[in-house]
Amino acid sequence: MTPTAQLRTIRSNTRYVEASVHYNRRKFDKKYEIVARLYDDALEDLGVTIGGEVVLAVFEDRHDALDAVRFFRNQG
């Protein structure tokens, strides 16, 4: 996976807990979504009271999803 400009923008502008980044495989289309937990102040800014996890990106391939998790954790 090569980080695109869009992925870099998401990483720099989204206030999420880096250690919370993980991937889930969606049942309905078998794609992998990269998910992270938002900080409490980011939830308040959005006016959200339930949840706190957001989808940062979606990938078809598991290896790309793992690379994206490393990227969003600022490890790569």
pLDDT band at 15 (very low <50, low <70, confident <90, very high): confident
Tens digit of each residue's pLDDT (9 = 90 or more) over 29-55? 999 999 999 888 888 887 777 777 889
Q: Chain-wide mean pLDDT for the chain?
A: 89
27 CB-near residues (< 8 Å, 6+ apart): none
Looking at residues 19-28, what average pLDDT do you find?
A: 95
Closest C-alpha to 69, from 25, 28, 36? 36
The single-letter code of the amino acid at 63 is: H
Higher pLDDT, 52 or 12: 12
pTM for the complete prediction? 0.86
Task: Please report which confidence band the pLDDT of residue 75 belongs to, taking 50, 70 and 90 as the band edges.
Answer: low
Backbone angles phi, psi at 31, to 5 degrees: -90, 165
* Residues β-bridged to residue 28: none
- One-letter identity of residue 75: Q
